[in-house]
């Protein structure tokens, strides 16, 4: 089966990288730009804009792998709807999480923090656990076992360490969106 929805989203991301509707700074998602200034279109623009070729390549390679698996399971139409829903829900979670962090810490950086890219959706897919069975990958000496379903949390933390300018709150928001939508039956 050809993964039409996944290929269409990869094509859309590539097209918008080569011919962006806006510069990443004008498409990124932040509390200030969306909730304060009412630029709601950023919820739809941010996931499809990337900061550079490496950012795009990493996200699209992962989308091909994860998207193909989901598409084999539930079909192209449902996969397309799911991916777009995850992009929107993840964006709303990103805004809510940054608003909460700004209120709790008093640090206005969280209101200004602007994120772009499709990785939040990819973390959502991983958190949903649809593409892999939940099998143990590591057991700590304390008896705590890390399964493939929760591996995305470790990946998120590792990305934050290796790429400190990446959007930790965007990735965490993706995980939260995936967990929230994991109860939705797709079949």
Give 132-169 pLDDT, tens digit per residue.
455 555 566 677 776 666 778 888 888 888 888 889 99
Helical spans, DSSP H, in 19-164: 24-27, 31, 42-45, 53-74, 76-105, 109-112, 119-128, 151-162
In the prediction, which pLDDT does 166 show? 87
CB atoms within 10 A of CB 18: 8
- 91-147 pLDDT per residue, tens: 999 999 999 999 999 999 999 999 999 999 999 998 887 544 555 555 666 777 766
Residue-range domain boundaries for the chain: 4-181
57-71 mean pLDDT: 93
Average model confidence (pLDDT) across the chain = 89
* Domain 4-181, CATH: 1.20.1540.10
pTM: 0.86
């Amino acid at each position: 089966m050809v993964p039409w929805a996944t290929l269409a989203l990869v094509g859309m991301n590539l097209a918008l990288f080569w011919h962006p509707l806006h510069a990443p700074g004008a498409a990124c998602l932040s509390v200030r730009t969306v909730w304060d200034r009412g630029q709601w279109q950023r919820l739809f623009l941010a996931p499809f804009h990337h900061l550079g070729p490496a950012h795009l390549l990493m996200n699209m390679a992962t989308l091909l792998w994860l998207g193909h698996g989901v598409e084999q399971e539930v079909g192209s139409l449902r996969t397309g709807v799911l991916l777009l829903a995850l992009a929107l829900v993840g964006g709303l979670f990103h805004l809510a999480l940054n608003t909460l962090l700004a209120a709790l810490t008093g640090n206005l950086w969280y209101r200004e923090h602007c994120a772009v890219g499709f990785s939040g959706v990819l973390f959502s897919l991983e958190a949903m656990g649809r593409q892999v069975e939940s099998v143990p990958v590591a057991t700590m000496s304390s008896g705590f076992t890390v399964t493939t379903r929760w591996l995305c949390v470790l990946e998120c933390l590792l990305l934050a360490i290796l790429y400190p300018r990446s959007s930790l709150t965007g990735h965490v928001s993706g995980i939260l969106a995936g967990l929230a939508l994991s109860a939705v039956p797709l079949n």
